[in-house]
Each structure stands twice: as C-alpha cells, then as structure tokens.
Amino acid sequence: MVKLVDTLSSGGSAARLVGSSPIMRTMNTKKNKVKPGVFNAQKEALRRRNRQVIYLNDSEMSAIRLYCDRFNISKKSALFRQAIMQKILSELDDSHPTLF
C-alpha cells in the first residue's frame, strides 16, 4: 500500500510517498547499488574495435567541412557514425520481411 503523506518543512508544504510495497521499499533504501563489474562490462561492450576507412573527393570533403563549420561540429567521426547508422537503421526498418 502506498500513501501520500503531507509534510511541512520551513513553512512550505510538500508531499512524499510512503510505501509499504516491496518496490517502494527497495527504491527508498540504498541497497540497490550497482556492482562495479557491471560498469566495466558495459564499457567493454561499447568499445569500438572495428576500423573502417572511407575516401572522399574534394567536393565531398569541402561540403563536410562547411557543414561542420556551420554547425560547430568538432568530431567528424561521431557525425559519420550517426549518419551511417541512421541510414542503415531506417532502411532496415523500411525493408522488414513480410508474410506474403
């Protein structure tokens, strides 16, 4: 059971949840800390190990420089990664398999 309790602190009014449900009890305690190994595993899973090189002609490179200068983008690799993944995911979403 979860109750809404009014508390008065320094003249103002505030409300807080007081719960007797297991979910509320675990949310209110400090026991739900994340183990240190979890962060290391997530960091290791997100590490980029695969290298891909692309070649651009002069007009393509000047267009990219203009875009980066105009929108204050300092990391071109993030720009390329985001654009490529957005294109790939949208095409995969558009060409999903159909039953008939």
What is the spatial distance between Cα 70 and Cα 58, in angstroms, rounded to a whole number? 18
The mean per-residue pLDDT over the stretch 62-91 comes to 94
Using 50, 70 and 90 to split pLDDT, how confident is the model at 73? Answer: very high
Report d(CA 24, CA 20) in Å as an integer: 7
The residues spanned by each domain of the chain are 1-33, 47-100
- What is the H or E stretch that residue 96 is in? none
**What pLDDT score does 34 carry?**
67
Q: Report the alpha-carbon distance of residue 52 to residue 37 in Å, rounded.
A: 30
Residue 55 and residue 46 in contact, taking contact as beta carbons nearer than 8 Å: no
Three-state SS at 75: coil
